[in-house]
Amino acid sequence: MSVSRLHLWRGRSPAVVSAADLAVLAAPELQRFEGMLAAAGARFAGSRAAVRRILADCLEVEPSRLVIGRKACPGCGSSEHGPPVVLEPPTTLEFSVSRSGDSWLVAVTDGVPLGVDIEAADAVDFELVSRLVMTAAELAALRSAIGDEERRSLFLRVWTRKEAVLKAAGVGLVAPLDQIDVQPTSAGPVLVPHEGMVWSVQNVELGTEHQAAVATPADRPVELCWQHLAVVGS
């Protein structure tokens, strides 16, 4: 079985929005930016500009020439929360984007469905939401963890793996998270059935400040390859 490459880029948005980032955004993105407070707007513009530069580099076009939309959600048919897609120019590239605070993570493949998620270590109150999003087996593992740091790390492993699966499946957070078991005590990759498919989910090593995971179809093996984006806002 052939192995495809899954390319990853990681970066931080600037604290203050840059003219260079705004220059590559499309009109709908600029509209969203204008309705945001300064800090949120800078994070939004920085991450969106990075996505455009990454995809433009892959496709050898100008970032502002890309038309990015959404596929229909496989669950309900809505294009409001379906997976992102490059509409123009025509391409087989698939991509997924995640943001936590000012940090972003972008993953790109050639034709392999995927989902990626990144979370800052302090982004989620795990004590508050764990019962809402974890299976009985996952909750048992959480209770067995020793100390807050280990418990938080295990919860974030659960959260990022589940988000990655839902993004890969294209259904977003409308799916019941407490029905998806991602085997947090296993270092991975782990196999996770969802939406009539089996997904291979693996963690992405980012150090102590963030956790991340990526999901792809189990029958489409991938090799993770880090890339670098040397541009303003990266």
CATH number for 193: 3.90.470.20
Look at residue 234 and tell me if it is in a domain.
no
Look at residue 233 and tell me if it is in a domain.
no
Q: Would you state the pLDDT for residue 82?
A: 82
Over the stretch 202-214, which tens digit does the pLDDT of each residue have? 999 998 899 999 9
Torsions phi, psi for 94 (to 5 deg): -115, 145
Q: How many domains does one find in the chain?
A: 1
Look at residue 231 and tell me if it is in a domain.
no
High-pLDDT (> 90) share of the chain, %: 80
Q: Would you state the pLDDT for residue 125?
A: 81
State which residues form the domain around 84: 4-226
Inform me whether the pLDDT recorded for 156 exceeds 90. yes
Residue partners of 146: CB distance under 8 A and separation at least 6: none
Look at residue 40 and tell me if it is in a domain.
yes
Look at residue 29 and tell me if it is in a domain.
yes
Q: Would you state the pLDDT for residue 229?
A: 67
- Kindly indicate the confidence band of residue 94, based on its pLDDT and cuts at 50, 70 and 90: very high
Q: Would you state the pLDDT for residue 77?
A: 78
**Pick from 47, 31, 101, 90: which is nearest to 66 by CA?**
90
Q: Would you state the pLDDT for residue 28?
A: 94
The per-residue pLDDT of the chain, averaged, comes to 92
Inform me whether the pLDDT recorded for 234 exceeds 70. no
Look at residue 35 and tell me if it is in a domain.
yes
Q: Would you state the pLDDT for residue 230?
A: 54
β-pair partners for 192 = 199
Which of 98-112, 115-129, 148-162 shows the lowest per-residue confidence on average (mean pLDDT)? 115-129
In whole angstroms, give the CA distance from residue 63 to residue 49. 8
Inform me whether the pLDDT recorded for 123 exceeds 80. no
Q: Would you state the pLDDT for residue 213?
A: 98
In whole angstroms, give the CA distance from residue 176 to residue 53. 34
Look at residue 92 and tell me if it is in a domain.
yes
Stronger pLDDT, 134 or 176, i.e. the higher one: 134
- Kindly indicate the confidence band of residue 26, based on its pLDDT and cuts at 50, 70 and 90: very high
In whole angstroms, give the CA distance from residue 171 to residue 187. 25
Look at residue 232 and tell me if it is in a domain.
no
